[in-house]
Amino acid sequence: MSSSIKKIIFGFAGATILATAANAGGLERGGYNIDLLFDDSRAAFDATGAYVMPQRELKNVRDTDASDGIGSDGFGGGTTTADETESYFVPRVGLKVGFTEDFNCMADYSQPYGAHTKPGADWMGANSNIETKIDSDGFAGTCSYSFNAGPGKLRIIGGVSYLEMSGFKERLVAPPLLALGNGVGRLELSDSGYGWRAGLAYEVPEIALRASLMYYSEVKLDDVTGVLDLSEVNGAIIPVFGSTAMPEAVELKVQSGVAPGWLVFGSVKWVDWSQLQNVSFCPEATRALNANCTYNGGTRVTSLDLLYQDGWTVSAGVGHQLTEKVSLAGSITWDRGTGTGVGTQTDTWTFGFGGSYKPTENAEFRLGGAIGVLTSGSSGTVTTDNGTFGTDVAYDFGSDVVSAVSASFKVKF
């Protein structure tokens, strides 16, 4: 396998996986990615963007909690269908520098987590959700040291990360005719934390073989603070606090040349989303009474009841070099939904495709796309150790479509 073939296919495989994994479960969006660290140049800069378009439609919606009124106005109004999801953009920027032949480091910015659902204020489930949006900004530094081992090289990898999270949720709390305003409450939150990552990789460049195993630690958000704004309900504005953590993850990636101009690649990732069950929030005025704001601590004023299970993502694909400058790749990805009966996070199947063009030895452009299926299901009542949830609204959903496009540019120095 020629050197040029290895460089082209190595660079493209990661971009294909990014496009197909953009709709992973839980709160994951771009996730974490260290592929740039393996670039064999002295320095490289890479910028990638993916635009994801999920199209989840809710059907047969029933308001199952009359305590806050029925429907969008509290008196039976609202549609029995709703478009839940919003499109979103996932950026990633990275810079890799090789200080020696064996010691390399990279710094990157990404938005690893996020969510945006907006069924609106005019559906029967407005008492559950009008709009929920979660954003993240991640900054990381990762280094590796490699040494000869058998026919290839063993690489030891380690690094640290800093994560900022923010978001809000709006829902109908009381019928407008019985409230001071429109009856909508809004919860706004933010926090930040640090994490670390470590792993190993083994490479045999002559056959374009690379196998990497990475562990990403959880990021503790020990002091989530914000405001529960009930000014449109009863005039109250309540500062709140709570705590949670973004989950740890383990990812195995393998790729290898199998014939001149051909490469196969695959990955398996586990994410500990099951640790996110009920994220509770208490009034700041009660912090001294319940410093950890537990769900059953007696001072909880609201909570985000996610009830996730662990996430698994499995991907496999093949790449082929057409010319010294052009290569193509395709992949298939299965993501196990993290939902357990509340919400719409069911299994997703995604098919990715794309191409890479290298006008010069030091520049590369990549374009990719993906089309997938969000499998069907329903949302309703679920009972856990903390109690019974999903009692506010019930609905069904069929098999829906998710699509994505991605573009990236890499330059080497």
The tens digit of pLDDT for each residue in 183-239 reads: 999 999 999 999 999 999 999 999 999 999 999 999 999 999 999 999 999 999 999
What pLDDT, in 10s, does the model give residues 232-260?
999 999 999 999 999 999 999 999 999 99
The yes-or-no verdict on residue 8 having pLDDT over 50 is: no
What pLDDT, in 10s, does the model give residues 69-107?
899 988 899 999 999 999 999 999 999 999 999 999 999
Sequence-ordered list of residues with C-beta below 8 angstroms from that of 334, at least 6 positions apart, any chain? 313, 314, 315, 347, 348, 349, 350
pLDDT band at 68 (very low <50, low <70, confident <90, very high): confident
Contact 88, 116 (CB under 8 A): yes
Token pair of 296, please?
Answer: 């059953």
Q: What is the pLDDT of residue 389?
A: 95
Q: What is the pLDDT of residue 290?
A: 77
Nearest one of 115, 98, 112, 108 to 40, comparing CA atoms = 98
**Mean pLDDT, all residues of the chain:** 92
Q: What is the pLDDT of residue 289?
A: 83
Q: What is the pLDDT of residue 23?
A: 58
Q: Is the pLDDT higher at 176 or at 58?
A: 58
Q: What is the pLDDT of residue 339?
A: 95
Token pair of 264, please?
Answer: 């196969």
- DSSP labels for 23-88? T-STTBSS----GGGG--SSEEEEEEEEEEEEE-EEEEEEE--GGG-EESSSEEESBS-EE-B--E
Query: What does the pLDDT average to over 139-144?
Result: 98
For the chain, the C-alpha Rg in angstroms (whole number) is 23
pLDDT > 90 fraction of the chain, expressed in percent and rounded: 88
Q: Specify the DSSP class assigned to residue 380.
A: -
Q: Specify the DSSP class assigned to residue 364.
A: E
Q: Specify the DSSP class assigned to residue 386.
A: T
Token pair of 397, please?
Answer: 């959903």
Token pair of 244, please?
Answer: 């949670």
- Polymer length of the chain: 413
Contact 212, 17 (CB under 8 A): no
Neighbours of 89 (CB within 10 A): 12
Token pair of 64, please?
Answer: 């199952």
Looking from the CA of 325 toward its CB, the CA atoms found within 13 Å total 8
Distances (CA, A) of 315 to 239, 243, 296: 43, 33, 40
Q: What is the pLDDT of residue 69?
A: 85
Q: Is the pLDDT higher at 9 or at 272?
A: 272
Contact 261, 321 (CB under 8 A): yes
